[in-house]
Amino acid sequence: MFKPTAVVTGGAGFLGSHLCDKLLSEGINVICIDNLITGNTANIAHLVGRDDFKFYKQDVTEYIYLAGKVDYILHFASPASPIDYLQLPIQTLKVGSLGTHKALGLAKEKKARFLLASTSEVYGDPAINPQNEDYWGNVNPIGPRGVYDEAKRFAEALTMAYHRYHGIETRIVRIFNTYGPRMRLNDGRALPAFVDQALRGENLTVFGDGSQTRSFCFVSDLVDGIFKLLMSDETEPVNIGNPSEITIKQFAEEVLKIMGSKSKIEYKELPEDDPKVRRPDITKAKNILNWEPKVEREEGLIKTIEYFKSINHIS
- Shared domain for 204 and 226, answered yes or no, is no
Q: Could you report how far apart the first and last alpha carbons of the chain are, in Å?
A: 46
- Shared domain for 134 and 43, answered yes or no, is yes
- Shared domain for 102 and 162, answered yes or no, is yes
- Shared domain for 189 and 155, answered yes or no, is no
- Shared domain for 97 and 154, answered yes or no, is yes
- Shared domain for 254 and 170, answered yes or no, is no
- Inside any domain, residue 114: yes
| CATH, residue 165 | 3.40.50.720
- Inside any domain, residue 284: no
φ/ψ (deg, to 5) at 138: -140, 85
Whether residue 67 has pLDDT greater than 50: yes
- Inside any domain, residue 288: no
| Dist. CA 93–CA 47, nearest whole Å | 30
- Inside any domain, residue 52: yes
Which residues are designated catalytic?
148
- Inside any domain, residue 285: no
Kindly give, in sequence order, each residue whose CB lies less than 8 Å from that of residue 76, ignoring residues fewer than 6 positions away: 8, 9, 10, 11, 13, 15, 16, 19, 117
| Domain region containing 202 | 180-214+244-278+294-312
- Shared domain for 224 and 261, answered yes or no, is no
Which candidate, 43, 82, 31, places its Cα nearest to that of 311?
A: 43
Burial of 287 per CB tally in 10 Å (0-12, 13-18, 19+): exposed
- Shared domain for 94 and 206, answered yes or no, is no
- Shared domain for 123 and 49, answered yes or no, is yes
- Inside any domain, residue 121: yes
Per the structure, the count of domains in the chain is: 2
| CATH, residue 251 | 3.90.25.10
- Shared domain for 10 and 137, answered yes or no, is yes
Rounded to 10 degrees, what is the CA torsion of 16, 21, 27, 28? Answer: 20
Whether residue 313 has pLDDT greater than 60: no
- Shared domain for 144 and 23, answered yes or no, is yes
Whether residue 226 has pLDDT greater than 90: yes
- Shared domain for 65 and 156, answered yes or no, is yes
Burial of 62 per CB tally in 10 Å (0-12, 13-18, 19+): exposed
Q: Residue 270: how many CA atoms within 13 Å on its side-chain side? A: 13
Whether residue 285 has pLDDT greater than 50: yes
- Inside any domain, residue 198: yes
pTM of the full structure: 0.95
Q: For 247-274, how does the pLDDT look when each residue is reduced to its tens digit (9 = 90+)? A: 999 999 999 999 998 888 999 887 776 7
- Inside any domain, residue 99: yes
Whether residue 104 has pLDDT greater than 60: yes
Given pLDDT bands bounded at 50, 70 and 90, which one contains residue 315? very low
